Amino acid sequence: MLIEAGSLRDGDVVAADVCVLGAGAAGITLARALAGHRRTVSLIESGGLGPERDTQQLSDVTSVGVRYLPSRLRYFGGATNHWGGLCHVLDDEDFVPLPWIEHSGWPIHKADLEPHYERAFDILDIPARVTFADMERDTDVYPRLLATSAFEPMLWLQSAPTRMGQKYRQEIADSDRIRCYLHANAVELVPDAAAQRIVQARTRTIAGKSLAFAARHYIVSAGGVENPRLLLASDSVVPGGLGNRYDLVGRYFMEHVFMLAGWMFAVPPPGTKGFQEEYVQLRGPREHPGVSGGLFGFRATPPFRRQHRLLGFSINALASARPRDASVEAVEELLAQSATVDRKTGQRGRSLRLIVFGECGPNPKSRIYLGGELDALGQRKAVVDLQTTPSDRRTVEKGVHAFAVELARSGHGRVKVELPSEDTPLPMAGGHHLGTTRMSDDPTRGVTDPHGRVHGLANLYLAGGSLFTTGGFANPTLTIVALALRQADDIERAMDVVPPEIQPPSDP
């Protein structure tokens, strides 16, 4: 059921089994999954069914450190209303502690997420998990451009992109168990006097109406900036905010390096008919639904990362018009001279843009905190202090350079590297807000436990990218949905452990 919060009486208290704050990828997934367990859910959404300026402005932040304005959409469906749909699962090594990446290591393994990844594929309308090897098996003309000890080819998968607000709007509107309250802005989570469990989530409409939501379990799924913001703002009982005993809430804010890194001028091996980008672009989507049409890439192998102590990264190639640069002719000439190109075949080189997706190292100094400026609801705005680590840049520089050498060594191309100078920050343009309420077994090292439950609070969970301990290089939505599905199962199992002590419900 979709309910306008403004239609309720000021001061109403609404009860359900679970209160989910934020109706984006994680929140909608959790609400649907819990409803599937026959639980009643209050799904709280700050916005309406479409973008509205006054609501969107509630997300305004101040940027210090690396200039960064997080891209978010504050209405039903959240960031899935504008995401590109590019997907990839995290790699095994993204979950394990790596000695050369300080603060790395998730408290769960990839195997814990695997079954949920499979379900997430359905939710995001990705028909199948296709790998590079699958595609290669299906053709005898598919040349491996580059597969070395340092790099291995990879394919990106493509969601429609699924707009979860559109896809699930009717289902939620028709649901007996999910009541989605629109234009209800969470302003505080209220714990009991002992600060051991949440007893109420307070919300306010922009028009000034106050509503409270009571539940046996609370899940905050409002994104990597708003999740810590709400915890920090909930300080009426616990100074410094909820879950913040060790000053961890908002820290370890991570994005993704997302940047053009130069050109790849590639020449097909003699005797081959096709080329990777052609195959992926022309045959991939047709023969392998779900494969991203046009984006293939190369990721660093674990041994290469270990040898050079690098973060995760992938170098992706996007077919492009030939650059207006006479030096391309020169490079083509060099390739021809070196006899790796068979001139008789008439094969010409291809120009591709190189796009780097890079991991940002976890850094406690990179953080979200509350500033002094207030929003229209009188809530303190978030300050975003994005800080990079030296490894971020070193990974990109070493990665692109190594890729250039490996490609040249293979005899099939050359790379022109175009990276920003030392005094220019690397572009952080993924629009991914990760790590600000990271998971850990140890309360001194993470805000939540491995289930996403806030340490020290029996019935408060966080969901979404803020749980990530490290970000890998892959776009996070697929993992966010998989994590949410896993959490729904966890919460269902915990449902009867925590005794229900909720406020008496009122009829909305």
Partner 1 sequence: MQNLMVGRREMLKLFASAGSALLLVDGRDHAIFGARMHPDAPSDSTRHLALLGRRLAEGQPRLARGLASHVERQIALDGGRTTFASRAAAARRFFLRPDRLRREFDRGAVVSVGGWILARSEAAVCAWAHSFLARETQIA
In the set 331, 439, 482, 488, which binds partner 1 (CB under 8 A)?
331
CB of 329 to partner 1, least distance (A): 5
Does 174 contact partner 1 by CB under 8 A? Answer: no
Nearest to 78 by CA among 108, 44, 41: 44
Q: Is 327 in the site for partner 1 (CB under 8 A)?
A: yes
Task: Between 79 and 415, name the residue whose CB sits nearer to partner 1.
Answer: 415
Q: Are 374 and 204 in contact (CB under 8 A)?
A: no
Interface with partner 1 by CB under 8 A: which range of 84-92, 180-188, 337-345, 390-398?
337-345
Part in contact with partner 1 (CB under 8 A); list of ranges 128-136, 297-305, 327-335, 384-392 = 327-335
**DSSP line for 21-36:** E--SHHHHHHHHHHHH
Does 334 participate in binding partner 1 (rule CB under 8 A)? yes
Residue 305 sits at the vertex; the CA angle it makes with 303 and 307, to the nearest 5 degrees, is 65
In 3-state terms, what secondary structure has residue 360?
A: coil
Of the ranges 148-156, 321-329, 372-380, 489-497, which one interacts with partner 1 (CB under 8 A)?
Answer: 321-329
Q: Are 144 and 280 in contact (CB under 8 A)?
A: no
Q: Is 260 in the site for partner 1 (CB under 8 A)?
A: no
3 forms part of the interface with partner 1 (CB under 8 A): no
Count Cβ atoms below 10 Å from residue 477 Cβ, excluding itself.
28
Cβ proximity of 433 and 221 under 8 Å: no
Any contact of residue 340 with partner 1 (CB under 8 A)?
yes
Q: Which residues contact 19 (CB under 8 A, 6 or more apart)?
A: 41, 42, 44, 201, 213, 214, 215, 217, 218, 219
Of 295 and 407, nearer to partner 1 (C-beta) is: 407
Task: Out of 111, 176, 337, 378, name the contact with partner 1 by CB under 8 A.
Answer: 337
Per the CB < 8 A criterion, the answer to whether 243 and 218 are in contact is no
Q: How far is the CB of 339 from partner 1 (least distance, A)?
A: 5
* 250 to 30, 40, 197, 230, 443: CA distances (angstroms): 23, 30, 20, 10, 14
Interface with partner 1 includes 128 (CB under 8 A)? no
Query: Is residue 173 a contact point for partner 1 (CB under 8 A)?
Result: no
Please report the beta strands in 310-408, taking only residues with DSSP state E, as ranges in sequence order. 313-319, 350-359, 367-374, 380-386
- What is the nearest approach in angstroms of partner 1 to the Cβ of residue 326? 4
- What string of DSSP letters covers 117-148? HHHHHHHTT------HHHHHHT-SS---S---
Which of 330, 374, 429, 498 is in the footprint of partner 1 by CB under 8 A? 330
Strands (E), 192-312: 198-204, 210-220, 256-266, 291-300
* 137 burial via Cβ count (<10 Å: 0-12, 13-18, 19+): exposed
Shortest Cβ 406–partner 1 spacing (Å): 8
- For residue 345, state whether it binds partner 1 (rule: CB under 8 A): no
| Site pattern 398..417 for partner 1 (x: CB under 8 A) | ---x--xx--xx-x--xxxx
Residue among 418, 458, 489, 506 that touches partner 1 (CB under 8 A) = 418
Residue 134 or 325 with smaller CB distance to partner 1: 325
Nearest to partner 1 of 201, 354 (CB atom)? 354
Is 343 a residue that touches partner 1 (CB under 8 A)? no
Q: How many of the chain's residues bind partner 1 (CB under 8 A)?
A: 26
Residues 6+ apart with CB under 8 A from 485: 29, 33, 116, 119, 120, 123
User: Closest separation between CB of residue 343 and partner 1, Å?
Assistant: 12
Nearest approach, Cβ of residue 190 and partner 1 (Å): 57
- Residue 408 or 458: the one with the smaller Cβ distance to partner 1 is 408
How many whole angstroms separate alpha carbon 437 and alpha carbon 253? 9
Q: How far is the CB of 272 from partner 1 (least distance, A)?
A: 17
SS3 assignment, position 458: coil
42 closest CA partner among 235, 243, 186, 226: 186
Residues that bind partner 1 (CB under 8 A): 262, 325-327, 329-334, 336-340, 401, 404-405, 408-409, 411, 414-418
